[in-house]
């Protein structure tokens, strides 16, 4: 047994989340649907390579003006 283990302790945040999941069992499915809507996308690797190849290098300091050579 670890000296850091506290078997009878649960934090307030953990208690809140456990109670929320018990009160709203549909919450996990809603979270997964939201993630699938925004994040779980198929990536076209060929198109991604084209995007990377077409990228223009940025100057180290974008707001620096060019010297005026008159």
pLDDT on residue 69? 67
pLDDT on residue 68? 66
Tens of pLDDT along the chain (70 residues) come to 677 777 788 899 999 999 999 999 999 999 999 999 888 888 899 999 999 999 988 777 777 777 766 6
Calculated CA dihedral for residues 35, 30, 15, 10, nearest 10 degrees: -40
C-alpha 40/C-alpha 28 separation (Å) is 16
- Helix pair angle (27-38, 12-23), 10° resolution: 100
pLDDT on residue 1? 60
- Asked whether the CA dihedral 35, 37, 42, 45 is positive or negative, the reply is negative
């Amino acid at each position: 047994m670890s000296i850091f283990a506290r078997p009878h302790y649960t934090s307030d945040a953990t208690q809140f989340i456990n109670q929320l999941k018990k009160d709203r069992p549909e919450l996990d499915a809603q979270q997964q649907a939201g993630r699938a809507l925004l994040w779980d996308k198929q990536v076209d690797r060929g198109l991604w390579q084209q995007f990377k190849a077409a990228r223009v290098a940025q100057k180290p300091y974008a707001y620096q003006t060019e010297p005026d050579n008159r």
